[in-house]
Amino acid sequence: MFENNKDVYQTAYKTHSCYKITLIRCIYFSLKMNNAILKLLSVLIWLRGVFADDCEVEYEAAFNEDICSCNNFDNKIVNFEGLKLSGSESGESDRQMSMKGIISLSKEIEEGNAVQIEIYKETDLGNKEFVNGARWDICQNLHNTDAPWYPLLECLGISECPILAKDYAIEELFISLDSVKNVMTHEFCGDYEVHLCLVDDLETLSCHIVNLAIVETLGENCKR
C-alpha cells in the first residue's frame, strides 16, 4: 500500500516539476518576446521622430480654372469666360496664382466704379458661411501696389481712368499669394466661393464666382 502511495507521490512530483519547468519556459519566452516588442516600438517611435523632424506639411490654394457667372446674373459688361486660373508653386515660400486668357470689357470702367469681394466657406452641412469681404474704388487705387489686382493692371498697362472698353489678352500672369499666407493653415482648410463684383453706388454691374480650396499637402522632403 505504501509502495503504491510512493509511486503516486513520485508521479505527482514529476508532474509538478514538469509544470514548473514549462511555466518558467513560458515566462522566459514571454519576457523575451515582450523585450523584442519593446525594442521594435522604440525603433518605430525613433523613426517617427526623425520623419516628423524631416517632413513638413504645406498648404496650397487650388483653383477651379474656370470663372463662372453668379446665379441668375447676366454679365454683359465684364466677361471672364476666356480667363483661366490655376495655383502654382515656384518655391518653398512663394506660392502663386497663374492667370491667362482674355478679359472682355463692353463698357468703360470710370470714377465711382469699385471692386467688391465677398468670401464664403462651405460648411460640413453644405451651407455657405460668410467669411470676409472688402470693397475698393478702382480709379482711386490704380497706383496702390497693395491692391490685389495691381499686378493685373500693371501687366495690361493700365495706369489711368477711364479704363477703356476692349478685350485684354493675358499670355500668362503669376500673382504671388504671400499676402494671404496667414490663412494657409490647417484651420482654414476647406472649399471657398469668392464673389467678385464690379459695382457703382447704385447697382452691381458684374458678378463672377471663383471657386478655390485651401488644401494640406506633404512637403517635397516627405515625397521620397
Within its chain, how far is the Cα of 178 from the centroid? 14
pLDDT at 40: 59
> How far is residue 215's CA from residue 189's CA, in Å, rounded to a whole number?
6
pLDDT at 15: 47
Quick one: average pLDDT of 59-86?
A: 90
Cα→Cα distances 96→85, 99, 181, 195, Å:
11, 10, 11, 20
Task: Examine the pLDDT at 191 and tell me if it is beyond 70.
Answer: yes
Quick one: average pLDDT of 198-211?
A: 94
Sheet holding 167-176, edge to edge: 78-89, 95-105, 167-176
pLDDT tens sequence across 133-171: 999 999 999 998 887 778 889 999 999 999 999 999 998
In this prediction, residue 47 has a pLDDT band, given cuts at 50, 70 and 90, of low
pLDDT at 34: 52
pTM score, whole prediction: 0.69
Out of 10-24, 92-106, 139-153, give the one with best mean pLDDT: 139-153
Domains of the chain, residue spans: 1-55, 58-219
pLDDT at 60: 86
pLDDT tens sequence across 101-139: 999 999 999 999 999 999 999 998 889 999 999 999 999
**Region of poorest pLDDT, from 15-29, 93-107, 133-147, 200-214:** 15-29
Quick one: average pLDDT of 173-188?
A: 83
Q: What is the mean pLDDT of the chain?
A: 78
Cα→Cα distances 139→5, 36, 117, 163, Å:
115, 73, 16, 9
Superfamily of domain 58-219: Ganglioside GM2 activator (2.70.220.10)
> How far is residue 135's CA from residue 119's CA, in Å, rounded to a whole number?
12
Phi–psi pair at 153, nearest 5 degrees:
-60, -40
Task: Examine the pLDDT at 37 and tell me if it is beyond 70.
Answer: no
In this prediction, residue 222 has a pLDDT band, given cuts at 50, 70 and 90, of low
